Structure 1
Amino acid sequence: MSQESEHGKWTVSSSDESTEENDNAEKPSTSSLSCSGLRYPCSEVRKIAHKRKVCPVEFNDKSFSTVISPAKKQRTSQEGLGWCLSSSDEEPESDSQSKCVPKEAVKEEKLQDFVPEKQPLQRCGVNELSVSPKSEEHYMVPSEGQDTWDLLNGGNPFRFFVTKVNGIKSKYNSGALHIKDILSPLFGTLVSSAQFNYCIDVEWLIKQYPLEFRKKPLLIVHGEKRESKAELHAQANPYENVRLCQAKLDIAFGTHHTKMMLLLYEEGLRVVIHTSNLIEDDWDQKTQGIWLSPLYPRLPHGTSGSAGESITNFKSDLINYLMAYNSPTLKEWADIIQEHDLSETRVYLLGSTPGRYQGNQKEKWGHFRLRKLLREYTSPIPAQESWPVIGQFSSIGSMGADQSKWLCSEFQESLVALGSSMKTVAKPDVPVHLIYPTVDNVRQSLEGYPAGGSLPYSVQTAQKQLWLHSYFHKWSAETSGRSHAMPHIKTYMRTSPDFQKISWFLVTSANLSKAAWGALEKNGTQLMIRSYELGVLFLPSAFGLDAGYFHVKKKMFSGSNEPVTAFPVPYDLPPEPYGSKDRPWIWNIPYTRAPDTHGNMWVPS
């Protein structure tokens, strides 16, 4: 069934009937694309985005008719065959099989229905703010030559960074890092390293290491299976120093989505927790987040097992996370961490690991871990019960038939948890602001429509949760000069009503999905998590702030006289709600009514 929208005519073709996507469900696919040129396993949407970069569809009617015709034929041949939703966010009928349903005719509705017209902004139900539109940013190629050593020692107590972006003014890359900066000899003399990630281009990754480190032992921790695992092994085969470690994924639709580097130096150890896949596109023109640890010195020989712990218990939590893989190879890295002094760490580790957890085990991982940390280490501020929560992410899973099924019940209860003296209740008047790019955000980005390859929200998921879109806010980062670098970063926080203070901030690999954060089962007695995720939580108490909040840094890269403890939020506050004509980016439908910044259309076929 075809549909008409302001973005052009579209059909649910075979590419639309593939797996539902959340970024942590960028389900690996080995299908080949004639012009993709990709040498590594990745998701279908990433392959299509790469194809559209190499073989763009220019903005004109002739190109559109040429490309769409095969898709129409393909759709016709699929009539009556049924289709299968196999996402890590889709609730399976059983753990061992995907949820297969008969193919239904898509309702003839306009794409405008994906955001209810004039719908009030939601705080799990209340009208909220209005902000005027912002102007376009001018792009310039960044200059090279930033001293990364000065960057690490330049008054950044949070050690939170964004990635460099190619194509913006150089001043907006001040204080930003590229992977080559992180792996630079300036940070230490590398002995060996471990890379945990979802999508990995081994050849590209090796080239990011300095020449003198390219033959040092490298462990790659991944979640690939079957054909995509074979592809990864073929990639790694030419490099004798590379070992692979497959993360166990025993629950259907789970992914290994954690993004972490363990860097062992002659001088000590460094931990890097970030949001980028190990592929070139993720380090080029996207907004990504990085937490870079201090250099951890080696403890004296014979030191007791509890030595070198931080006030945040980061050391033991990181070791416990590695041990959850149940891998002898990662036990070696746990032992290395045990031998180092991590006492200078000021962040809390917040991870997810696949499993079903009951009793006290429920609080080890996922959103219940966040709930526990907020209860134990935050101090309530007057009227803080009504402070808004913000979620910002690059993909979305199935939330259920309405907000009460997960978002505004168990998940919100964790986001609004306060000190232990306060009862944790999901307040109906707590504003919930969800930041996710619009179609125009993507169209006007540095990459153009192919930027949507890292925003894999599918039409199948969107059609089932139109209610969610009334919570949406645009991606905007003008104050940091990065509005046109699409976000692959994922952040969550709680802010004051005037958006000048935040009581906590989390940067993580976890998108807005039950697979990543966990969902309750068995009448709330069991938390089920499908995927591996990892992030770090910033709490004021760990930075010696008795007030219970961070001030928000007004300009992320400014040299102003803002306090060193002002937190650098990587996008604009207050968030700007979708307008009546704004639509969330959905990857598997065409956009043909307006060209992107490269003069092209988006035709995902």
Structure 2
Amino acid sequence: MSRSSGSQQSSYGKWTLSSSDEESEDSKKPSSSLSVNRDRVVPAPQFPCSEARKESYKRKSNPVKFEEMAGKEPSPAKKPKSDKEGIGWCLSSSEEEPEPKKEPKKVKEPSSQKPEVQRVYKSRSPTPTPTPTTNEKHKTPSDSQDPWDVLQAGEPFRFYLTKVTGIKPKYNAGALHIKDILSPLFGTLVSSVQFNYCINIPWLVKQYPEEFRNKPLLIVHGEKQESKARLHEEAHPYENIRLCQARLDMAFGTHHTKMMILLYEEGLRVVIHTSNLIHDDWHQKTQGIWLSPLYPKLPEGSSSLAGESITNFRSDLMAYLAAYNSPSLREWIDIIKQHDLSETRVYLIGSTPGRYQGHDKEKWGHLRLRKVLREKGGLISGVESWPVIGQFSSIGSMGTDHTKWLHSEFGESLKSLGKGVKTLPKAENPLQLIYPSVNNVRTSLEGYPAGGSLPYSIQTAQKQPWLHSYFHKWKAETSGRSRAIPHIKTYMRLSPDYRELAWFLVTSANLSKAAWGSLEKSGAQLFIRSYELGVLFLPSAFGFDNGTFQVKVNVYANNEDSKGTFPVPYDLPPERYTGKERPWVWNIPYVNAPDSHGNIWCPS
């Protein structure tokens, strides 16, 4: 995804400009240890990750309560200045509302308007509801299911959602928390490596059982400058923790991969997921997890080819680790070589920064996905008309219209399946993009601060209004989980009746060129900025001879009839946005309707 950073002055005040999925390196840097928020001094987050996340933490620390302006019409919002005038971006705070009122006094406005705004909004002391107490922060959500039972129930796919605090236990059925994943029930830990984008080391250490907290832990990150210094400072008290910085030579690239490799006395396990290593991502958000089988150690003297799976997962994982060119990760490559990964049934789909030509062009990014789908996907009658559904938590710049990337190179990769499948004209290829609306965020368990994990900026949105005609959302009645904002990223191809699934991918990759890559030099070269990782489920690898998975209609229903059906993580079909709905954009205010905690959203 292309990114840019800078600032823009408007009637809403100073905004940080970014078109990134998780913000650029420059915008990630905390300016100081303290930030002044209205009349109170609020500690800045120690793990900001992005400008959007920083804003979320500030709003939780010092929320602004909503108050109606009795008997007065709200003042219309001014559209932010843009290179493209007249594109009609609506700054509405919900589909039912009029346009927003003016911002609170923190934001710069014409002096004639300030007295009115101050009467409308009043800063209040923070309410305890949005932010968990110290004791609550490290609790696993209550669930009647034993983690081992959950693990077994996930066979054969081993795809799980994360537990969510604040919903009925039945909606956490089949879900896992990070403490479950690191539990002694899954193995006696010897050492581990954590790959991630946003990391809070003290919180992470507390997720390990006490008996494992002193075991060797390698953390792979992409931090630079002040953020890198902060991470090293956090790690300093822990003698067992080492840090490995991923090289990011491409401008605006990020280390976005989210993976754990856990070495046990009993063997090895790989976990590929979508959560940052911070409390908020494991608290009230829907995330995805693929948990590998327990891989046993190979007998001494085994062939170098032993332990490979039908999906070539072992070799692909070692190739991904080798791309870091790190001595610390070469140690883990040697560990993988010693284990039997033959039970793996998923394909590894990764991205690593660089410009790739020739055979290397199909090793990473969307061309890697295209290659696997073409070579390993089954021939399905009529599949060329099947919709592709993408779900993500942020969006990058994709050009002035759908032909520039979405429906050309990326769309061609998503719609590949088998060597003999024809490609229909672009207009006939259904594409449904799932991204939370403003109202989804407003009514979520976290309220507006949930939008801090959805860093789609107004500057990017204004450049691609054509994209919004593709937007869909989770159905309103989604089995009790609809209020846990999805941070999960999934891509899949379904039959028109949504009962059969041709393939399913869970990944860290958002909808961006930085994550998936973009073609250069007339298609001879693929350019990728970021590290990403996901796993692809194909029916053939699981022994489904008809070439499709059957879709589990209700992922929360526990009945034997659904055994072997794939648990698509939301109700189908997705709902298209209504005419008044807008996608969540993090860096504009939403002040005309309160969120689930009675607050408004006023980015500073």
Superposition TM-score tier, normalisation by shorter sequence: 0.7 to 0.9
* 1:274-423 superposed matches below 5 A: 274-422=273-421
Distance in 1 (CA, whole Å) between partners of 2:425 and 2:146 is 46
Aligned with 1:42: secondary structure? coil
Distance in 2 (CA, whole Å) between partners of 1:567 and 1:280 is 29
Distance in 1 (CA, whole Å) between partners of 2:202 and 2:394 is 27
Distance in 2 (CA, whole Å) between partners of 1:551 and 1:177 is 23
Amino acid paired to 1:458: S
Gaps of 5+ in 1: 1-9, 63-67, 80-102, 118-140
Q: Name the Cα RMSD after superposition.
A: 2.5
Does the Cα contact within 8 Å between 2:437 and 2:473 map onto a contact in 1?
yes
Please state how far the C-alpha of 1:425 moved relative to its aligned partner.
6.4
Aligned with 1:50: secondary structure? helix
Please state how far the C-alpha of 1:602 moved relative to its aligned partner.
0.3
Gaps of 5+ in 2: 1-9, 36-40, 70-74, 96-139
Q: 1:11 to 1:146 in 2, by over 3 A?
A: farther
Please state how far the C-alpha of 1:500 moved relative to its aligned partner.
1.0
Please state how far the C-alpha of 1:18 moved relative to its aligned partner.
3.2
For residues 68-116 of structure 1, the C-alpha deviation after alignment (integer angstroms, 9 at most, x for no partner) is: 9xx99xx9xxx9xxxxxxxxxxxxxxxxxxxxxxx8577477543899x
Partner of 2:59: 52
Partner of 1:28: 28
Please state how far the C-alpha of 1:42 moved relative to its aligned partner.
1.7
Does the Cα contact within 8 Å between 1:288 and 1:488 map onto a contact in 2?
yes
Does the Cα contact within 8 Å between 2:393 and 2:486 map onto a contact in 1?
yes
For residues 417-438 of structure 1, the C-alpha deviation after alignment (integer angstroms, 9 at most, x for no partner) is: 1212335566430100000000
Please state how far the C-alpha of 1:562 moved relative to its aligned partner.
3.0
Distance in 2 (CA, whole Å) between partners of 1:24 and 1:160 is 28
Does the Cα contact within 8 Å between 2:22 and 2:49 map onto a contact in 1?
no
Partner of 2:179: 180
Aligned with 1:231: secondary structure? helix
Does the Cα contact within 8 Å between 1:394 and 1:488 map onto a contact in 2?
yes
Count of residues in correspondence between the two structures: 538
Distance in 1 (CA, whole Å) between partners of 2:583 and 2:447 is 15
Aligned with 1:405: secondary structure? coil
Does the Cα contact within 8 Å between 1:324 and 1:353 map onto a contact in 2?
yes
Does the Cα contact within 8 Å between 2:313 and 2:348 map onto a contact in 1?
yes
| Match for residue 38 of structure 1 among 45, 58, 78 | 45
Does the Cα contact within 8 Å between 1:166 and 1:285 map onto a contact in 2?
yes
TM-score (norm 1): 0.85
Distance in 1 (CA, whole Å) between partners of 2:441 and 2:546 is 39
Distance in 2 (CA, whole Å) between partners of 1:369 and 1:105 is 36
* 1:480-559 superposed matches below 5 A: 480-559=479-558
Distance in 2 (CA, whole Å) between partners of 1:414 and 1:397 is 18
Amino acid paired to 2:61: V
Partner of 1:214: 213
Please state how far the C-alpha of 1:379 moved relative to its aligned partner.
1.4
Q: 1:424 to 1:373 in 2, by over 3 A?
A: farther
Runs in 1 of length 4+ with deviation above 6 angstroms?
Answer: none
Aligned with 1:476: secondary structure? coil
* 1:161-172 superposed matches below 5 A: 161-172=160-171
Distance in 2 (CA, whole Å) between partners of 1:243 and 1:440 is 42
Partner of 1:596: 595
Distance in 2 (CA, whole Å) between partners of 1:163 and 1:200 is 18
Amino acid paired to 1:59: F
Q: 1:155 to 1:193 in 2, by over 3 A?
A: closer
Distance in 2 (CA, whole Å) between partners of 1:53 and 1:479 is 26
Distance in 2 (CA, whole Å) between partners of 1:590 and 1:439 is 11
TM-score (norm 2): 0.85
Does the Cα contact within 8 Å between 2:143 and 2:172 map onto a contact in 1?
no
Does the Cα contact within 8 Å between 1:319 and 1:334 map onto a contact in 2?
yes
Please state how far the C-alpha of 1:37 moved relative to its aligned partner.
4.5
Partner of 2:90: 112
* 1:129-168 superposed matches below 5 A: 143-154=142-153, 156-168=155-167
Distance in 1 (CA, whole Å) between partners of 2:184 and 2:437 is 40
Does the Cα contact within 8 Å between 1:35 and 1:51 map onto a contact in 2?
yes
Amino acid paired to 1:30: P
Distance in 2 (CA, whole Å) between partners of 1:279 and 1:210 is 17
Distance in 2 (CA, whole Å) between partners of 1:231 and 1:155 is 38
Partner of 2:114: none
Does the Cα contact within 8 Å between 2:18 and 2:459 map onto a contact in 1?
no
Please state how far the C-alpha of 1:560 moved relative to its aligned partner.
2.6
For residues 292-346 of structure 1, the C-alpha deviation after alignment (integer angstroms, 9 at most, x for no partner) is: 0000000011111110000000000000000000111101001100100000000
Does the Cα contact within 8 Å between 1:403 and 1:468 map onto a contact in 2?
yes
Does the Cα contact within 8 Å between 2:286 and 2:484 map onto a contact in 1?
yes
Distance in 1 (CA, whole Å) between partners of 2:509 and 2:146 is 31
Does the Cα contact within 8 Å between 1:56 and 1:600 map onto a contact in 2?
yes
Distance in 1 (CA, whole Å) between partners of 2:491 and 2:369 is 11
Please state how far the C-alpha of 1:480 moved relative to its aligned partner.
3.6
Aligned with 1:590: secondary structure? coil
Please state how far the C-alpha of 1:24 moved relative to its aligned partner.
6.7
Q: 1:425 to 1:534 in 2, by over 3 A?
A: farther
Distance in 2 (CA, whole Å) between partners of 1:520 and 1:370 is 14
Does the Cα contact within 8 Å between 1:259 and 1:273 map onto a contact in 2?
yes
Partner of 2:137: none
Aligned with 2:427: secondary structure? coil
Please state how far the C-alpha of 1:174 moved relative to its aligned partner.
1.2
